[in-house]
Amino acid sequence: MLDYDKEAERYDALRGGEPRAEAAAGAVLGLVPDTARTLLDLGCGTGIVTRRLAEDRPALRVTGADLTYGMARHAAARLPGAIVLADGRQLPFRDGTFDAVTSVWLLHLLPGRGEVRATIAECARLLRPGGVYVTTVDKGPSHNVGSDIDAVMAARPASPVPDASARVEAYAAEAGLVAAGEARFTGRGQGRSPRRTITDLRRGWFMTLPPGHPLADGFARRLAALPDQERPRPDPEFRVRAFRKAP
C-alpha cells in the first residue's frame, strides 16, 4: 500500500486535481439534504474535496478527519480550524453530532472487512436521527474502463474489494442505516496512459503488486509494448451511495 504521508505532496496532481474534486463534491452534495447543517468528511485526505463541500454549500459547517498527518496538514491549510487527526473506527465526537457523514475514496483502503464494518458503524453512531452517510463504493473495479491497459493488468493477482457495494449496504443495515440514493461522477483527469501505469506499478499503486513483486517487471514490459504510451485512456466513473439513519 502507498505511504500516504509521502504521497500527500503529489496526491492532488496525480489524481485529477480540482476538476476531479469538483465532480466528487457535486455528486456527494447531491445526496446530502439541503436541511443538513453539519457534515463530517471522514478520510478527508488533502481536503481538496472537503473544501469544495464547504464552499458549494455555505450553510453547511464542514469538519474533516484523517488518520495520516501529511494529508491532514494539507487539509488544515485549506480549512483552518476544521480538521482533526483521528482514526475512523474511533472518532472523537459524541453520538448524533452530525447531520451528514461522508467518506470519499476511503473504504477501499481499509485492510479488511472488520475495519470496513467498524468504520461504517462509527459513521452511523455520529449521525443524528434522519442523518445521511454518503460514501464511494467499488473504487477498484471502477478503474477498469475496458482499455488495452486493463487487458494487460487483468492477469495480475486478484485484488480484494472491501468497499463492494453489496457489502457496504449490508454493514450499513447492521448499523441501522437504510439505502437512500446513489449517484455517479467521472474521475476527471484519472484516465491512465501506459507510461503512467508503469509509474504507478513501480510505486506500489496496485495493492497486489507491491514494489519488488516478482511479477511486476513482466507487467511493466507488457505495458511498455502498448501503443500511444503518453495517451490517457478514458476516465473512470465512480459510484456514490447514500444511507439514512432512522428518524
80-117 residues labelled b (16+ CB within 10 A) or e (exposed): eebbbebebbebebeeebbbbbbbbbbbbbbeeeebbb
CB of 119 closer than 8 Å to CB of 107? yes
Single pTM value for the model: 0.92
> Can you give the pLDDT at residue 18?
82
β-bridge mates for residue 243, sequence order:
133, 179
> Can you give the pLDDT at residue 23?
94
> Can you give the pLDDT at residue 5?
64
Q: Would you call 151 helix, strand, or coil by DSSP?
A: helix
Q: Strand pairing of 61-66 and 38-42?
A: parallel
> Can you give the pLDDT at residue 25?
96
Please identify which residue in the block is written with the cell numbers 452511523: 124
Dist CA 121 CA 7 (whole Å) = 28
CB of 109 closer than 8 Å to CB of 140? no
Multiple choice CATH, 4-143+159-191+234-245, 3.40.109.10, 3.40.50.920, 3.40.50.150, 3.50.50.60:
3.40.50.150
> Can you give the pLDDT at residue 207?
85
> Can you give the pLDDT at residue 83?
97
With a cut of 70, list the residues of the chain below it in pLDDT.
1-16
β-bridge mates for residue 245, sequence order:
177
